[in-house]
């Protein structure tokens, strides 16, 4: 993973083309896979420690699960728990034309949990059924993080945007629930372009 510094330079002094896409101080890792089946995706990890160079355990997990579901994951971006930073990352992904943006973390009840507040203004239309399904499946699986999540889901342009809680159990369960729903939404959104 490359830590980008202001001006688009990485910590090792090389230029980082992704810096212009995701703003100053974002941590970006890219993945190269042969061909997308289900669509292009981007992961946004909302975590202060990870955004400041700490170890990211959730981004790789979501990337792995998305790849297994047939998505080409453009990148995993770590941002601090700040509404503007989160909103900028989501808007950049939407403008970049990905089919799916998954944010992980910042959906709880603490004052730093601002992901839903940052996500709502990005959405053209909310899809509350997806959020309800994620909370419901989390309840059945015994994941309190999923049940207590305030995460939202919706469509921005032709991109599906979904908030997941920041725990491994909630991510695993959420991704299992989200897979068929995301495929359906992305298929319908793709049909609108024809």
For residue range 15-52, list pLDDT tens digits in order. 444 444 455 556 565 555 454 478 999 999 999 999 99
Say which DSSP state 166 is in.
S
Q: Which pLDDT score is estimated for 16? A: 43
User: What's the start-to-end Cα distance of the chain, in Å?
Assistant: 37
Q: Which pLDDT score is estimated for 121? A: 98
Q: Are 72 and 39 in contact (CB under 8 A)?
A: yes
pLDDT over 90 (residue 5): no
pLDDT over 90 (residue 10): no
pLDDT tens digits, one per residue of 132-191: 999 999 989 888 888 899 999 999 999 999 999 999 999 999 999 999 999 999 999 987
> Cα 101 to chain center, whole Å?
4
Q: What is the largest CA-CA distance in the chain?
A: 48
d(CA 55, CA 1): 10
Confidence of residue 4 (pLDDT cuts 50, 70, 90): very low
CA angle 95/5/3 to nearest 5° reads 85
**Contacts by 138-143, CB closer than 8 A, 24 or more apart:** 138/165, 138/170, 138/173, 138/174, 141/169, 141/173, 143/167, 143/169, 143/170, 143/173
Q: Which pLDDT score is estimated for 146? A: 87
pLDDT tens digits, one per residue of 94-125: 999 999 999 999 999 999 999 999 999 999 99
pLDDT over 60 (residue 1): no
Q: What is the pTM of this model?
A: 0.80
């Amino acid at each position: 993973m490359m830590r980008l510094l202001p001006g688009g330079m990485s910590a090792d002094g090389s230029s980082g083309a992704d810096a212009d896409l995701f703003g100053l101080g974002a941590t970006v890792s890219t993945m190269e896979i042969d061909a997308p089946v289900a669509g292009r995706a981007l992961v946004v990890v909302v975590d202060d420690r990870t955004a400041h160079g700490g170890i990211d355990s959730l981004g790789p997990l979501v990337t792995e699960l998305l790849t297994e579901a047939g998505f080409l994951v453009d990148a995993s971006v770590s941002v601090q728990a700040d509404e503007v930073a989160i909103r900028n990352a989501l808007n950049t992904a939407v403008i970049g034309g990905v089919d799916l943006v998954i944010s992980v973390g910042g959906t709880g009840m603490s004052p730093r949990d601002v992901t839903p507040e940052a996500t709502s203004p990005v959405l053209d239309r909310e899809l509350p059924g997806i959020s309800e399904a994620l909370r419901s499946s989390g309840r059945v699986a015994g994941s309190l993080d999923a049940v207590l999540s305030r995460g939202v889901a919706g469509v921005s342009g032709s991109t599906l945007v979904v908030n997941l809680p920041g725990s491994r159990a909630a991510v695993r369960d959420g991704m299992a629930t989200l897979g068929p729903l995301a495929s359906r939404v992305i298929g319908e959104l793709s049909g609108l372009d024809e």
